[in-house]
Amino acid sequence: MTYNIFISTGEVSGDFQGAALAQAIYREAKQQNIPLTIRALGGEKMAAAGVNLLGNTAGIGSIGLLEALPFILPSFLLQQKVKQYLQQTPPDLAILIDYVTPNIAMGQFIKRHLGIPIVYYIAPQEWVWEFQNNSQLITSFTDRILAIFPAEAQYYQKKAPKSPGWDIP
Domain ranges of the chain: 3-128
Strand order in the sheet with 93-97: 52-56, 36-42, 3-8, 93-97, 118-121, 144-146
CA-atom Rg of the chain in angstroms: 15
Amino acid 51: pLDDT:
98
Side-chain-side CA neighbours of 146 within 13 Å: the count stands at: 12
Asked if 38 and 20 count as a contact pair (C-beta separation under 8 A), the reply is: no
Amino acid 69: pLDDT:
63
Amino acid 160: pLDDT:
75
Low-confidence residues of the chain: pLDDT under 50: 164
**CA 159 – CA 61 distance, rounded (Å):** 27
Amino acid 151: pLDDT:
83
Amino acid 107: pLDDT:
97
Q: Of the CATH numbers 1.10.268.10, 3.40.50.2000, 2.40.50.140, 3.40.50.300, which one belongs to the domain with range 3-128?
A: 3.40.50.2000
CA dist 25 → 1, 30, 124 (Å): 17, 9, 22
Nearest CA-CA partner of 153 in 163, 132, 167: 167
Amino acid 85: pLDDT:
98
